Structures are given as structure tokens and as C-alpha cells.
Structure 1
Amino acid sequence: MVCFRDLFTLPTVDVSEVGDKAYTLAQLKRWGLPVPPTWVLGPEPWLEIVEALVPTGEWAQRDAIALQQMAQGLGKQLDHYRLDFDRGGFDLPLPLILRCSLSICDAAGQALPLPQDFQGLLAGQICSTQPDVEQLRQLWGQVLRAQNLRVWRHHGLTLNQLQLSLIAHPLVPAAFSGTLLVVGDRAWLEVVAGLGVSLSQGEAVPACCQVEDGHHSWQPGYQDRSLQVDLVSRAVDWQWCPEPTLAMPLTQPQVNQLLQLGRQAQRHIGSGVRLEWLVEEPEGLGFVITQAAAWQTAESGAVATIEMPIAPALPSVQAAIRGIPAATGRGLASALVLKAGTPMPDRLPAGCIVVAEDIQPDLFGRAADVVGIVTEAGSATCHAAILARERGIPAVVGAPHAVSLIATGDPLWLDGDKGIVYIVSEVKTPWRQPSIAAARTTPDAEKLETRTRVMVNLSQASRLADHAGLIDGVGLVRSEWLLLEGLEGRHPQHWIEAGQARDLEAVVVERLRPILAACPDKPVRYRSLDLRSHEWTYLQGSPSREVNPMLGLRGTFSYQQDSRLFETELAALRTLQEEGYEQLELILPFVRTVEEVQACQHQISRAGLPQVDQFCLWIMAEVPSVLFLLPAYAKAGIQGIAIGTNDLTQLLLAVDREQPLLAATYDERHPAVLAALQYLIRQAQAQGMGCSLCGQAPVRFPELIDSLVDWGIDSICVELAAIAATRKAIAAAETKG
């Protein structure tokens, strides 16, 4: 019989018996800090489940597909597993929250420190009734999700090394809650109204306070609803905030009281400590510490240094629109709303935030100096999002009704990290803060050598030289975006029709040459033009938009209808070869049939590209038919495949990646996508072909890198901002392999 026990009446408390969170709360209680009443269910029932359900053997060596299948099977078994559970003869106070309290141990049973990346993997559960077996199963089941199985495997852990306890706290009405980070003699506060779920789930922009040398500096936040507890009905519900702006939620004495608690914890835990807290309602009841942890870096265990972003205070907020985070960074500027049919200026004004139903790549040639971008359409993998990330422009996509709710001239605060656009009271000076991750340099990554090549996807030469030591070449030059700023507002086909093929050839040469020059002796793979009709409507001479441009006249099929544009590209590539850039390779886009490839090969041979020994011809593997035609492509002379996970995923799953409502369904971790990736990589090996991956998958889901390396991928190509992290992940995967 297993049951909850009062944590603070246990004769002894060991981390392996109650988990990290419960152990820390017991310590805080012993040190005299205010903590909530806590009950704990030890790891015994979890270990019983593991012993009964998890197959023996080296499960940690399974690839991503096998892990997905394993997760599904374990989930079904857990649903039917019988467990003898009792609440211990008493009822827990309601409402309450159940949380996972995890510890890990080595083969000898000794407790180990929890890695930083375990934070946030196991969510809590709010209960308005007494906990039952079904609720416990849901909490335990999180450990068995495929996403988390990959994390445990990444750290070399088996499931029986995970000591999973559960803790229960009563939920009390909270006036405010938040976090306190104390590092040395500096401190930072984040505050939201109501329970802290608003903060952890991104439902609010917290008010922030920095404390240094006794001075308090507040930055206002915004919150339109808060999670509140009704002790009479025992209900926990969202309530609208009468005043959404969070100016200075805590008084100076309250800040000082909270800092005193932080310093007290700091004396026991170490120089860096992070607390989660709430102040009970009515506010006179004081603070309660709900969680605490040492603040450390994952790599060295040293206390992290904190650099607070230099940003203007968030002005008074009048409205907020939530979309999908597309490109990180923040910006404050006036809106420029581009409605359908609006005449497009030759260049968008500097210092504005562009708001539109949709933004296609042809607009970026006019948007060099904008502060940010907001669209109603799109997802994190749409072309506008990819290009915004490459150019360092903060962006939010999939923001519903943005064009209707925002008017030109409205002052906006854009948060590309959280996917929120605020209509604020004023803009004194336009301001943009780029992604901290994009700006971070990691020289240690340059020292890592990997068998798997780490290459970059790009369309511009800017910043390439700064990362030369980190990359093994350019895995994908996006030709359409490369040429945009040299097209003078005209569609490439317009140049051809005007008899200016030689002039367009010169544009290709001039735009591509700096990329080749920045990567001497490293392969540069140029993907030829893949012109979808809906992406070029603002360019002069653009063809009429097709009903379904995704599946229309594009890729190598379009070369068969009119070969002049492709021949112009080939002539430009040959010119660059003759200048000495012999590392140049060619990728054919959106290939549907072997016959399309053969037609292109005749033109490539006539252009003279194969005369250079280093020249290689690749195809994009993004149309699902490639899964059945790979041997035929190899027989036709294709030397490598570049897997484009963006299009491959949407075509395999029949999910439009431009549609915000389907964003959650578009997932490269789907078993069908993983099976296709594994098959393509191993089939390419069997055919003696190179194999590269060029989509967003390894950036969106870094845990996939282990499987890609295990399957034998030759190279992984990502955006510049993700190069260092990707190389580190590949090095770790190869070390384990």
C-alpha cells in the first residue's frame, strides 16, 4: 500500500527517498524559511512500474523511431497497470497542486546532481478533488513520453535510475507570485498577479525589478488575466485583470522582505540561488517559498553571470495580441500596416514595425531597416520566419486579426521570444534588441572536431566571415533570397523577357561571389531558383498567382517549361568556377521525377560545370516520391541528397506550414517523418550518395541530433545563430556513439 506522508514529520529526509524538490523544501523549513505544507509520495510505486513495464536490455541505445514506439507502448501499459494506492487515511486540503520531485542515482544508488536541462520537463497538475490513481498515472506518464525518453538517453540514464516522487501542496489565494534570482550582491525579481502559472506558461509579461547597491529599478509588465483560487468553491479559475498593466506590484518593504528571504537561502545554498514564491491574499499573510534551487551553469557548475538586457521600460499597455514566436528579439516602434492591395513603397520606412496579413520573401528587399515584423499567417518554419531569423529582425507570425486590430501609427512593443505584440501608449524612440542567443559567441565550439559536418544555411554573406571557424561549409544557399536585393524590384523572369539574361547572370555572380570568398576550400552548395508564384507578387513582371503554388509550377519541373532562367544561373556558376571558385556545388530544388533530373543534367553538361573535378550535383529530398526513387536518382548520377525537412514534413503529414492553426500538428518528430529520415539517410549510404539535412528540425528539436548521427548523416545544416550549439550537440552524440 502506497500513500502520501507529511514531509515535515518524516524522521529523516533523503533526496533519493523524496526527490530534489521535496528535499529542498525540507531544508528550507529546517532553515526557518516559510514554505507551504507538503505531502510526499515516495518513488516506490514508480520503481514498481518501471520494473513491471520497461523491457530489459539497452533501451537507451534505441533510435528515435524505436523510442517513439516504446513511448506509445509504455503509455498504453501504464493506463492499465493496477496500483494499490491509499491516501493514508486522511484527506489532503483542496484545491492542491501535484508536482513531480525527481532525483537520479548512479549504478551504486548514490544521488547525482540534476542537470539544468531537466527543468520544465515534468509539469504539475492542479486538483480540485482528492488525487486518485488516474492522476498519478498522468504524472508518471510524462517520464515515458518520447521527448523525455530522448533526454534521459542523452544523459546516459536508464529509467530505474530516475527516482520519481510526487509532492502535494495546498493552493492558496495569491495576490502576487513570481521568481527571485540572487547572484552575489545583485538580485532580480519577476512578478505576476495571482498564481505563478501565469509566469511559467507565458500568460503574462512579468513586472521586473533589478536590485543593486540598494537601488530598486522596476520595468512594468502586462497581464490581462490571472489564475485565482476560490477557497469556498475550491475552484481554480482564470479571471480578467481590471488593470492589465503591472507597474510596481510589490511595495518597497515587501521587496526588502523578499530579499531578506533570498539572502537567508543564499547563505545555505550558495552564491547563486533562485526562489519561486507567492504572497498570500490578503497580503498581510506574508510570503511563501514554493521552490528553490542553486543557480548554476550547466557546463561548469559555476555560478552564472547575469547580464540584464538594456531596454526601455514597457509603456502603458492598451491591448495585446498573441501569435507564434518566429524570430527572437524585441522592438518598440510605430506600426506600418500593409493591407491587401496596398501599394508597396520602393523601400519601407526605417524604424517601423511592419504588420501584414502575410509577408513573402520579396518584401525583405525593402525591409532592411525595420524594427520588427508581425503577420497574421505563417508558422515558425514559414519562409518569412526563416528569413527574419537570418536577418536578425524580431518577428511574430500567426497573430490573429493583427491587421484589423492595429492601425498605421499605433505604437507597438513586439516580443519575438514570447510571440506577443502589445499596443502601447507611446513610442519616444524606435528601439530594437536582437536575440541574445544570436549575439552570443562560443569560441570553445571552434575547438570541437566532429565526423559529421556542421554547415550553414543562408542567403547573405553578412556575418559569415565571423563564423568561418565554426562551419564546414555552406550546405544551402537560398538563391531566391540571395538575389532579392539585386533584382531592382523586378521578377527574375522579367529580366529574361526584357532580353537582360546577361545582366541577371552578373547579378548572380556578384551576389554569390562573397559567400564563396568567405569559404575557401569548403564546399558551397547553391540551390537553383525555386520560384513559387505567391512569394513574388510585389516584383515587377511577376507571373499571376496560382491556386496552389506549393504544388504548382515550381522546382525543376518549371525548368522544363522554360529553361532560360536556369541556363542563366548555370552560366553564372560557370563564370565563378572560371574565377577559381571550384568548391561550388549545385542542388536541384523540389525534384519530382528522374526525368526532370535528366533534363537538367543535359543543360548542366552544356554549361560546362562537370569540367571541374570537385563539382557535385545534389537534389533536394523534400517530395515524398524520393523515398521510392533514390536508387534511380543514384543511377542517373546524382551524388547527394539534401533533406529539406520543412517541405518533407508538410507533404508527409498533409499539414500546411503557413497555416497558424496547424502549427501544433506540424511536428518533425512524428513517427512518419522520423521513419522517412532514417530511410533516406541509410538508403543514401547504401547507394554511395552524400546525405545532408537542411531544414529547421535540428534547431527546433535538438534532441533529434542523436538519432541523425546514429543513422549516419554526413552533414547537418542550420542557421548561423544555431551553429555553435549544433556542433556541441553533434560532438556529444558522436562521443556517446
Structure 2
Amino acid sequence: MVDNYVVWLDSVGMGDVGQVGGKNASLGEMIHALSDKGVRVPNGFATTAHAFRDFLAHSHLTERIHQSLEALDPTDIHALKECGAEIRRWILDSPFPVPLLNAITSAYEKLEGQTDGKLSVAIRSSATAEDLADASFAGQQESYLNVCGVESVLASIKNVFASLYNDRAISYRAHQHFDHQSIAISVGVQQMVRSDLGSSGVLFTLDTESGFRDVILITSAYGLGETVVQGAVNPDEFYLYKPTLATGHHAILSRTLGSKEIRKIYARDNLKDFIVTERVPELERNRFSLNDRQIHELGRYAVTIEEHYGRPMDIEWALDGVDNKIYIVQSRPETVKSQEKTTNSINRYKLKERGTVLAKGRAIGQAITNGTTRIIANISEMERIQPGDILVTDMTDPDWEPIMKRASAIVTNRGGRTCHAAIIARELGIPTIVGTGDATESIPNDHTVTISCAEGDDGYVYDKALAFELITTPIKSLPPLKTRMMVNIGNPGRAFDYASIPNDGVGLARMEFIISNIIGIHPRAIIDFENLPAESRDEIERKISGYGSPIEFYVEKLTEGIATIAAPFSPNPVRIRTSDFKSNEYANLIAGREYEPFESNPMIGYRGALRQLSEPFRPCFELECKAIKRAREKMGLSNIELMIPFIRTLDEAIDIISLLEENGLKRGEDGLRIIMMCEVPSNVILAEEFLEYFDGFSIGSNDLTQLTLGMDRDSEWMAAGFDERNPAIKESISRVIQACHNQHKSVGICGEGPSHYPEFARWLVEQEISSISMSPNSIIETWNGLG
């Protein structure tokens, strides 16, 4: 049992939370338990809870503080402010007991003697109820960085003692029903990591929005980590996939370049050390703040720490710019998604209409709400926020927690998904959009808006109150079926979330969605970049920041989109359909009109295999092949299957298989399955012949119905007669299923027909179709209906 005033971190562990708090106990635990496994943690010392309680008793503060807090109504903002300020003043005006003063001084001098040069330390709080598995206390107390000299250390420790009674800390404890008297504070004193010359950030060992446990989310920016933690910058984001990290494959599922406009660094003037904030040069802003080697190293640290603690973790890290080594500076349990109870239903918010987008940022929470905006410049204006308002501000930090509870949603200019405000917003269940860049300028004050965080990684602020619905789908004991029930995935940003729905894999993932939503550039413009007009080159250069070349950007972003869909559904199959844009759709991409022909009926024109084999587009298709090969081989995602759309003739089938082989995608090699979309009447008539070149069919019922009945599927005049249940369509589907059975090959259908028409779904099952793939919102209801 620790009962000294000061202890060394390498002498404590998780059994000492009551005396050194969760943060310092965790640091000590990692130092002595994980150092041999390669996890670096700076050593140091900590004052104890015993020291804090003796400090209060020495100045007769214990009972005074208790009486003051007992009389406080924490919902009264004015009273909270006055009470907290008075208690903090009492603490700052009180002297250290001499034994505590001597203990801190002695420990600092010993730490100073262990360093080659001048000692600089970080002073961090560690409350005894902090960093528990069910409450984060994120950023409730103060931290001080680049502290030099024993006098500055003593002053900082006293400030940390006082910060136990910050307004935000008092309010948070009251909200979480913690007894103020039962909580003490320890202060950690650690040698500083020179991340002012490197980078730093926060990582979580799960996806913070969906709770998906097989990924690691890393946020990173230049300089000291306070900018990321406080939400002062929009950081870079990286997702790693744990299973492929464990097998030694390339494990980075995705990268998102943040603006990283400022950083905090050390400075020295008149023999005094301090921290300044500076602008990051544009060249550095346009680069990622971590390289692939460092990202993987951080990922391995994260897995090691998570395995040691046996739970998802929230970890702060720092990259030293002098020795180029990564250090772990804090580790605590993740307190939101890992604590959610398993339920017998799935809730999904869905917009029923669309509107003008006023702002866009990173989505926190997966909900939608309407409300009235209140643009708040600083915390002194907190009284303007009324219950149900939408708080719009430059950035929030933990000081804002008392008013965050009043808001129905929050929108900020700055911040990433791992900042303290985002963590608290998740705990409170408030949908939040961070890092919009310009919300305080683009959103009117006192204006009705809709906040949507239910559309993937991006959150949107829409003008006016749009209609939305909450869809609750009960999960019963789903009946066993011979037919595999698969899902269609468009947006990679929803893949982690949708993977939690019962499924047998992904029957359709559209490459064109990745191209249009993540890349946005015509692939021919990527290849011809140097010959483009200056205006187009400038626009593309802005989008490809952080990547070595336009082609590397295009291939890597395709790979990331493919991998992000494939990973959460592994080991179930994920069928990636190569791009099937029509010419009018390709024309809408950046520089697209320079390459696309005008067609009066693009639906049956320059698309599918014909386009992929054509001389102008073949190099573009080969970039898609490269991305699929990279995801399967470099990233180890062997559950990816390839699907080719709109093949009109047998010659096209032969030529496309040959082209795939030329690009390293040989059917059967390393288990690669190649599926053909069956959506043209010629595919039905010559089903047996087409199947010689493929591992199966996926029936595209929309195009098959359109071309069999001669009905434009986009025409409102045709809507009444456009029906997959038409006898001609059912006869075609039946023939295709039988042809596949005869050759022992798979046959599926990807479309909404089975979910719209339950009797059609039952008929497909009776025909012994191998799989039915539909939207995630439809699968459970359809599945239950087939039992």
C-alpha cells in the first residue's frame, strides 16, 4: 500500500489507483509490465492522494471545501463559478507542508540527475476516481508542459491540486454522482517528450462511433499533444486493422489528412522557458504527420496495451523529434462504446428529405436532430444556451461541459474525433460535428437547422428542419436459411457500423461510390495530370495532398475504400464491383467533361466491360485492378471477390478475364473468385457459355428488368410497369439459377426487389438461389420474413 508523499512511477501499478489515481497507476503499470514488450513510457514520480489530503488538512481546508460543495446547486452556473473560484483560491493561497515540500524537491533533483541536459517535465493530474472503466473524466484537471526548475514544478503541482475544483470537474462529478469528498488527486511529474519537434495525438483501440473492436483509430498533429486533446486542430486520422497487423501485413485501412493549422512548441526568452503556438507551414500541413512505419509501430503498442488491460483503451502518445521514438504518455479505459449494453434491437436514424448543406465536418454519434442555433464566441456567453439549442462555436473544451448538457447538438470549427469535447459529447449522447472549418461563419445564428451524424464519417448541418425517422429493428432469433443473406454497401464510412448487423457478407460494394465520394476526380485526369489546364491541376493538387503523385493518391484511396469495406466483414466474402459509371456520371467528376462523350442514352451506352476494355479507359481500369490486388495481397484481405458489371458478349467476357490476368488478378489464384453481373438478356440466353469464364453470377435485377421489358428504369412514366415479379423476369432468373446449379457455381441477386416484395424473396429462396443481397436497413426484416 502506497502511503508516502512521493512515489516513483515504476514502483506503482493498477493496485495503487486509490493513492496515485488511474492515470499514474496506469503509467506505472506499463513501465514495469510492458517495457520488455517494447512499449516506451517516460519515467518520473507522483505525489500521492495521501499527500493531497495532508495538504488540505494542514491548511484546514477539508471541512471548508466539503461545506461549500454541499451547499452548491451544480446546475446554477453562477453559483458553480463562484464556488469553484473560491475553493481554488483557498488552495493556491495555502503553503505546502514542509515534509511534502522536501519530498517533491528531493524527487525532482533525483530525476534531474538522471538526465544529460536540462530537465523539462510534464505535470499531469491523476484523480483517484479518474480513468475508470465507466467514466473518463476527460480533461477535467489541468496539465502543464515544459516545466523547468523545482520552483515552477511546485507551483504547477499546486495549480493541479486546485484544478480538482474547476467548474467543469465539480459539474462532471455531480453529473456522474461521485462524492466530492471521496476523491483526491495525485500529480504525475514525467520527463518531457520532445513532441514539439515531432508529433503527438490520441488513439483508441476501437472505432469510437460504431464500437467496432478490430480497428485502431489514431489521430495525430504536429507539436505538443494539447492541440489534439483540446480540439484546437483538425488532426490527421488513421485506421488500422488489428487482424492484418497481427499477421505482419500492411494494416492501414484509411488515412484522412487534417488541416493541422497550428502547433504548440517550446520557446525560450530572457532565460525563461515557455510554450508558444505557431502556424504550421503549408508544406508540412499538406503532409501526414506520421509515416507508415510509425503508424504500424503505434498500432502494435496499442494492441499490446489493450491485451494487457483486457479492454478497449484510450491512449495518448508522443513522437520525440530528437530521438525519433514514440512514447506512451497516458492510457485509460475507453468509457463509451465499450460500456454499451447488448440490446435485442438496432436503431438507425434516416433522413426522409434533403436540404442545403450549411457546414460539413467529422460526425460524432450516429443520430439526427433539429434545433435552433446559438453561435457562442466564448464561455462567458454560456447563459444564452437554452435546453435543446444547437451550440455552434469555434472549439469546445472541458470547461464547456456544464453547458454541453443543455445542448441537443454541438458544431465546431475545430477539433477531431478524439478531442476531449468529443469524448464528453459521446458520454452525454449529444450528436456533434467537429472540424467544420467555418461553422461560425456559414451557419446563421438563431436559425433552425438539422444536424445529421447518421451518414457515415461526415456530419452535415442542413438548412431548415428536415424530416427524419428513427428505425428500430428488433433482432429476433433469425431462422436458419440455405440462402446466404448479404448486404449492399455503398459508403465505406458506414461499413464498421453495418458489419454489426447479422449478415453473410457483402453481395455488392460499388467501386464508383468510392471514386465519386472519396476521390472525386476522373481517372483519366489522374493519368493525364501534367497535360491538364492549370485550373484543373490546381484543384487536383489540393485533393491529393499527402500522397506522392496523382496516381498513387488514386490507387491508395481506392485501396483504402475497398479495405475499409472488406475488413469488418471478414472472413465472409465481400464482392467489389468494378466501376460502372455511365458517361454522364463520369462527366460530373473533376475534369470529367474533358474525357466523356455526350450520349443521348448513356444507360445502354459506354459502360461496363465495354468501357473497361476500350483503349481510352483501359489504363483507368488497370488502376482499379492495382487497388484490388493491393488490398488482397499487401493487406491480406483475401475475402475480397471481384465482380464485373454489364458484360454484353462472350468476346467481352473472354477479353476482360484476360485483362484481369494481365494485371495480376487471375481467377483461382490465391483463392480469387470472379463473379459476373447477370443483367443483360444475352447473359440469360447464353448463361452456360458465360459461366465458363466466371465463378458465378450476381443478378442485377434492375438492368435485367429494364432491358428485358424495354422500360427505362429512371422514367416516371414506366414506374407502374417496372416490376421484377413480371413473369418474363422470373423466367429469366429461374433459368440463370438453374444454369449455375448445373455447373455447381454460386448465384445471387443484389437489388431491393426481395425487400420490397416479400413474396418475391420467398420465390427466390424456393428457387434455391445461393444469396440475396440488399440494403442493411432491409436485411433483418426480410430474413425474418423468410423463416
TM-score relative to the length of structure 1: 0.41
Higher helix share: 2
TM-score relative to the length of structure 2: 0.38
